[in-house]
Amino acid sequence: MSSIIMEIRAGAGGDEAALFASDLFKMYSKYAEGQGWELKVLDTHEIGIGGLKSIVFTIKGDNAYNDLRYEGGVHRVQRVPETEKGNRIHTSTASVAVLKKPETTEVKINPSDIKMDFFKSSGPGGQNVNKRQTAVRITHTPSGLVVSSQTTRNLEENKKNALNILEAKLFQQQQDEIEAEVSGARRSQIGTADRSEKIRTYNFPQDRITDHRIKKKWHNIAKIMEGDLKPVIKKIKNSELNA
């Protein structure tokens, strides 16, 4: 059984990008539910219209990492936003990161290398939803990584969640450095599947999803966005990305 941490962040496109980030989270949530996996939200920043500036969550289950490892990258959506009165198609983006959750022995964090700040958790629009400072922000000084958690009203639980996120990001950095040394040539040929690379376009007017890495297309976006990712994942797992 594997555990991963996924992070979705709204990119270019304002409110529409945040709504798309929310749609992606629902898609992965429903896929996870269909697989019988366990999902837990570690950190979230919402906007008032139901969108997400960002969300970090864990997924635990058989083959979770193998199924979702290539979802990392920039996802692009082309559609008419709900707030658009002129029926114009907008293009927005959201980035997805997929981090393998390390075993406790794989990453060691020196307590002297981290700085913890505590603040009141906030809801949509930034208003404080908790009178006590139970939200946690951790800065890892050597790497410059900053993570946070504010999903619960329990300070210790948020600290644990934030440390889990930090451990996964540090582990990913280590793996990237090793992979860059060992297989730099292969990475340059097939792409890195990281956040800077546009991997997929969701074109709603044409009812088409395109994965640019393997040059494959699927129709019936509504069904896929409801969590029916199996056809997409199967094609990717059988492609050179998984060679």
Class of domain 111-181: alpha beta
pLDDT band at 186 (very low <50, low <70, confident <90, very high): very low
Instruction: Indicate the domain borders of the chain.
Output: 2-105+188-242, 111-181
pLDDT band at 171 (very low <50, low <70, confident <90, very high): confident
At residue 189, the pLDDT reads 36
Q: Which 8-state DSSP code applies to residue 154?
A: -
By the 8 A CB rule, do 218 and 224 touch? yes
**Residue among 78, 45, 81, 68 nearest 210 (CA):** 78
* CATH for 2-105+188-242, options being 3.40.50.720, 3.30.70.1660, 1.10.150.20, 3.30.565.10: 3.30.70.1660
Question: Of the given ranges (121-135, 144-158, 207-221, 226-240), which has the lowest mean pLDDT?
Answer: 121-135
Q: What is the pLDDT of residue 87?
A: 82
**Residue 212 backbone dihedrals phi, psi, to 5 degrees:** -75, -20
User: How sure is the predictor about 130, in pLDDT bands with cuts at 50, 70 and 90?
Assistant: low
